[in-house]
Amino acid sequence: MPQGGTLTFRTSSKELESEGMIIVTIRDTGIGINNKDIKDIFKPFFTTKERGTGLGLAICQKIIKEHGGSISVESISFQGTVFSIRLKAIAQD
């Protein structure tokens, strides 16, 4: 994200298909993700960075899926990116 950008975290809960879900949304005002790259960003070793390994988002997706959740991304060039993480809510006694 370029200098001076904004990073926003938001949490919410929803009832989906009779199940409670927790949704974590991470939004930035960076340069966005190129349309041709967005389909590959969760693949292991995919990176557009000189010093990146391409493992970060692949690992995040694996952990989230192992917990019964999902992660999605939306991006608009030069406007920013939004990641949404959905996890099953667990009732507390």
Could you tell me the residue ranges of all domains in the chain? 7-88
Tokens 């009779």 appear where?
A: 18
- Alpha-carbon distance values, 18 to 24, 47, 75, 87, 92 (Å): 19, 38, 30, 14, 17
Kind and range of the H or E run holding 10: strand 7-16
pLDDT in tens, the chain (93 residues): 667 789 999 999 887 666 789 999 999 999 999 999 999 999 999 999 899 899 999 999 999 999 999 999 999 988 999 999 999 988 776
**Domain 7-88: which CATH number of 3.50.50.60, 3.30.430.20, 3.30.565.10, 3.30.1330.100:** 3.30.565.10
pLDDT at 56: 96
> Radius of gyration of the chain from Cα atoms?
15
